[in-house]
Amino acid sequence: MALAALCGGSEAALAGVDVAPFGTMADGRPIHLYTLSTPGLTVRVTDLGGIITAIETPDRAGRTADIVLGFATADQYRARDNQYFFGVPVGRFANRIAGARVTIDGQSYALAANNGPNTLHSGRPYYHERLWAARPFTRGGRSGVTLELVSPDGDQGFPGRLVLRLRYSVGPDHALRIDYRATTSRPTFVNFTNHSYFNLAGEGSGDVGGQSIQIRADRLAERDAAGLPTGRIVPVTGPYDLRAPRRIGDGIAAIKAQGGSGYDDSYVLADRPFARPRLVAEARDPASGRTLTVLTTEPSLQFYTANSAWGTDAGPSGRVYRRHGGFALETQHLPDSPHHPDFPTTLLRPGQTFRSTTLYRFGVEGG
C-alpha cells in the first residue's frame, strides 16, 4: 500500500519531525521539507526526490554549519540538480552500465545512453525529479521520515514494477541512518545509493583538500577511461591506498600527476553484502574538528571528489561551488554489475526483498 503524502503539521508533530512548505511541483502539488533533529545533529530532507538538503553539525567550538552541498530552494533543485545530484537517492541503478543495455533471462533491455554510449545513474526521469510519498515517525529512540516511490514497469528502460521504501532517521548515536527496501514484479537490476557531497568545513567553504580520508579496503575495481570497470579487481596502490588516513588534496595531486582529475573510484569492501553495517570509511577536518564515519551493509564504496569544473551555482551560503568543493562516499554495489557475473549480484527477482543500510555518523575532535 502506498504511503500518504503529508500536508499538515499536526500529524508530523506527533512523529517528532518538523514539516514546512518547500515550493510546488510543475503541476501544483506541494513539496515539503522534513527536519529531523537530535542533539548535535539536524538533517533536512524533502519529498522532492527524497533529497537530503542539509546536514548541520557543530565544530569543536560549538559553531554549527551545514556540511553537505545543496541548494536553498526546490526550484533550484528542479532546475539544476541534474548536473550535480546533490543529496539525491540514485536509482534504479546507481553509477554506470556499459552500452546502455542489460540482459535478463535472455531478454535484452535498452536503457538511456546519457553518458556517451553508457548509462549513468539510470537516466531520466531520475528518481530525484519525482515527488515521493512521505510519512514521519518516531520509533526506538529515532525520529525520521519514510519515503516511498513506485517505479513502473519499463521505467528508465528497466523491467518490473519496483516499490522502493527509503527511510531516513536520526538518533542518540549522532548518525543519519538510511534504510532501503525494494520489491519488484519482474526480474530487474537494482543498485541504490545516496549522492550527498560532504565538506566538513561547511558547504561553500572551498575545496576539501585539507581534509583527510580513510577507506578500509585493500582492493578496488579497475576502471577504464570511461569510468567503467574492466572486470579486474586490483590491490590498492599509490594514492588509491587509503587504508591509512590521507590528506585528500595530497591524493588528488598525485592522481593529477598521473594524468587523472581526482578520485572517482569503486572500493571493494567485501565479496557480498554485510549482514550488519560495518565500519568502512572515516573522514576528518583538522580545522573544524568535525568527523564523519561511514558504516554500511553494501559491498562497495564509490569515493568521488567533485572533479568537474564547477563555478556557476551557489549553495544556501551564497558561495559558489567550485571543483573539489566536496566529496561523496556512495555506498553501493559495483558499477556495471549486470555485465560482470563475478561481482556481487544486483539482480532482484519477484518474491525477493532488497534491503540495505548505511549510517553516516558525525562527531567532533578537540584541538
Q: How many Cα atoms are found within 13 Å in the side-chain-facing hemisphere of 104?
A: 18
130 pLDDT more than 90: yes
Query: How confident is the model over 66-117, as pLDDT tens digits?
Result: 999 999 999 999 999 999 999 999 999 999 999 999 999 999 999 999 999 9
C-alpha cell at 182: 525494494
309 pLDDT more than 60: yes
The pLDDT, as a whole number, for residue 2 is 36
State the DSSP H helix or E strand holding residue 361, giving kind and residue range, or none if neither.
strand 354-364
CB 133 within 8 A of CB 47: yes
State the DSSP H helix or E strand holding residue 257, giving kind and residue range, or none if neither.
helix 248-257
Q: Give the number of other CB atoms < 10 A from CB of residue 212.
A: 21
Which residues are marked as active site? Answer: 195, 330
Nearest CA to 276 out of 249, 296, 262, 260 is that of: 296
Which whole number is the average pLDDT over 223-250?
97
Helix-strand-coil percent breakdown of the chain, rounded to 5? 10, 45, 45
Task: Assign a CATH topology to domain 10-364.
Answer: Beta-galactosidase; Chain A, domain 5 (2.70.98)
End-to-end CA distance of the chain: 51
Q: Please compute Rg for the chain using Cα positions.
A: 19
Residue 276 burial (CB < 10 Å; 0-12/13-18/19+)?
exposed
CB 151 within 8 A of CB 348: no
Nearest CA to 362 out of 66, 17, 47, 33 is that of: 66
Q: What are phi and psi of 343, to 5 degrees?
A: -75, 155
| Close Cβ partners of 281 (under 8 Å, ≥ 6 residues apart) | 213, 214, 215, 216, 293, 294, 301, 303, 329
Cα gap 90→156, rounded to integer Å: 12
The pLDDT, as a whole number, for residue 178 is 98
pTM: 0.94
Q: Alpha carbon 22 to chain centroid distance?
A: 21
The pLDDT, as a whole number, for residue 367 is 62
Percentage of the chain surpassing pLDDT 90? 93
Query: How confident is the model over 255-299, as pLDDT tens digits?
Result: 999 999 999 999 999 999 999 999 999 999 999 999 999 999 999
